[in-house]
Structure 1
């Protein structure tokens, strides 16, 4: 009998090359070089200034925490529209814990527990009682807004410096500055060199007066990737979001993993709320979240339900928000040149792929944006103010059509149910 060898690797059976991280790194590097060129050409220093980077980091962290919370929930098959409410829980409970004990770390713990409470409510409604995920999330947002208003009146209004919609001043967290490096980067940044000074500005922003909570948030993004994609626990949790019936047939406790995911989701959103109240600000204020829970969901979708992608989405929103806060409209105006360049590159790419109609549309858009840049010196204040929100809409509408959410996300699954 002839023995047929199965060791030969053919092109059809060869393992796929993992290009994802390198592709993302290449895109980030290309974007940075283009941004540096725009800064050098226009002389708009705020584009890569260390102050802009610091502000962007400050604005991106709460969005990233909300997005990471959404990632944990949706990877387990539960849509978490209630992230906004869980962040609100985090802002008030974090402020209360820090103020009444005088210890910011107690505030961090109580804020996270406040978010966990919101996650537990969402899990009870959606997992145990089978309530529609969207309905439950909206209800949590409404509950959080009203109940935190009541608690603020009850506990903060009579305190010195407090009120019905704000807390007294809160203790802050330690901040980290890398001695020697920070000054060196600032010195190089001031030279205005192409790419080198821009890189120094970014590094100066990342090494000067960085809150320890920011460092914790970055570590949590990496830790979430490791847990969800490198551990048996993460594999089981993701299987619950893909096919809960199949997971149950293999002995996975579906309800337990959904509960765990939502508790972690709420805790991460609560951490984002603590950041808003005690790092980005020095007091709790009503309406402090400003829709960041919803923006976090958008960043999660932009990131294709992956930690690295959602971090990029949060960073993009934080950067555009920082530009409009630090500039008078000229910084955002300079970005029109960057948009023109991006559209031209997209035109070339679509032409190479044979999509001539789409390439024509992109070329027309590039010409219109270029004319807008040439014929104006700045942008209207109203447009600049809403630049982050416009960016979010554009990113979501132009994102790759290869986005794939977990297969069973949003499904109201019951034990013993066949898929």
Structure 2
């Protein structure tokens, strides 16, 4: 990003010398290849649920709150403010979302209230980090702690004594409407039930993505390309990213660094609050204490996995949602089938590293990993239940470890900034 580009407000990429650019045809090819691998694993193992419409639908619902939290982290960190308070902001979103839906007898009022509740947490984080220069980690931890205590107090004050409510939960909230593409549900279900190679797997994927999808889910999905457009294709987004890369240079060109950091952190809290509202309004239909279950932290991991870009974090959220859905539906059988997919993927990566990149040592390590995973798959029939419940978190850790070599956070992320400084 050059000084001339910033001054003119031209939306350019901060890292122009990228060696690899993901295009839509490549992305589509990757999705097709992944479905083929899943189909192979399904045929070999008989674990039909790994590509069923029910699994895809469950994965989508589990991925949405994580993706919204990750989007919140993206906005904040692209402006140079580390936000580990996403969990606390999600907690505020769960309570305010349920309260708003009950207060106005409308789930969309709960969506707005959840975003406001999360933005309240974002405002506290902005006051501490942007205005007063408090360490970002300390402020985030404090918000996570305050979010838990504040919502518990509000629950006792508001929900306790209400019909169906209590000190740790709300009454049931009004349901959110769902949408389906008419006329294709039954044909897709019939094709899926035939268990044909690849065709049935595509049918299961399409059925899960097109039938009984919450309107809130569609809104969350649309926020991903909208975030990309705003941050990478507008002058406003260029200025937001500039204060996270070179705030001194941005200030020298007339950008109000404090203002843009404030705006980004407020958006961050609002998006995390939307993730919390999804949990209480759509996922459960009720607010419960401890409902987020650490999804704010997982959203932060998904954002890092996605290299601080919207498309990448969406993939990370989908990965966690899918592994979580597998262990919830069929447990050990589905996770065991997933081991074969992992072995095949590692083998493909090893071949790519050896043939296209010439990285012999990395290819050897990856190949050994593929062999180990395949041996575990071959000598076992199922995966113990104690391990399957940990699978989503283990998947997140493994993916972050493999992706760590290509990560590039914003240059000024987490660095305190005071107006007038020269470096």
Match of 1:121 in 2: 124
Question: Displacement of 1:307 after TM fit?
Answer: 0.5
Question: Displacement of 1:38 after TM fit?
Answer: 1.2
Question: Displacement of 1:413 after TM fit?
Answer: 0.3
Question: Displacement of 1:371 after TM fit?
Answer: 1.8
- Aligned residue among 341, 363, 373 for 1:369: 373
Match of 2:400 in 1: 396
CA distance in 2, matches of 1:333, 1:203: 24
CA distance in 1, matches of 2:143, 2:37: 43
CA distance in 2, matches of 1:57, 1:390: 19
Match of 1:9 in 2: none
2:201 is equivalent to residue 207 of structure 1:
no
Alignment of 1:140-151 (within 5 A): 140-151=143-154
Task: Return closer, same or farther for 1:15/1:326 CA change in 2, 3 Å cut-off.
Answer: closer
Q: Which digits, 9 at most, give the CA deviation of each residue in 1:355-385, with x for residues without a partner?
A: 3333333333222222211111100100001
TM-score, L = length of structure 1: 0.94
- Aligned residue among 156, 165, 170 for 1:153: 156
Q: Unmatched 5+ residue regions in structure 1? A: 1-12
Q: Which moved more, 1:359-368 or 1:283-292?
A: 359-368
Q: Which moved more, 1:188-197 or 1:285-294?
A: 188-197
CA distance in 2, matches of 1:290, 1:15: 36
Question: Displacement of 1:229 after TM fit?
Answer: 0.6
Alignment of 1:295-310 (within 5 A): 295-310=298-313
Question: Displacement of 1:20 after TM fit?
Answer: 4.5
Alignment of 1:20-59 (within 5 A): 20-59=23-62
2:420 is equivalent to residue 416 of structure 1:
yes
CA distance in 2, matches of 1:16, 1:144: 42
Q: Which digits, 9 at most, give the CA deviation of each residue in 1:209-265, with x for residues without a partner?
A: 100000000111111111001111001111111000000001111111001001111
Match of 2:167 in 1: 164
CA distance in 2, matches of 1:359, 1:178: 44
Match of 1:330 in 2: 333
The structure with the larger Rg is 1
TM-score, L = length of structure 2: 0.93
CA distance in 2, matches of 1:95, 1:15: 44
* Root mean square deviation of aligned Cα: 1.7
Question: Displacement of 1:389 after TM fit?
Answer: 0.4
Task: Return closer, same or farther for 1:19/1:150 CA change in 2, 3 Å cut-off.
Answer: closer
Q: Which moved more, 1:107-116 or 1:337-346?
A: 337-346
Runs of 4 or more above 4 Å deviation:
13-22
Match of 2:7 in 1: none
CA distance in 2, matches of 1:70, 1:326: 30
- Aligned residue among 287, 291, 315 for 1:288: 291
2:252 is equivalent to residue 249 of structure 1:
yes
Match of 2:134 in 1: 131
2:280 is equivalent to residue 277 of structure 1:
yes
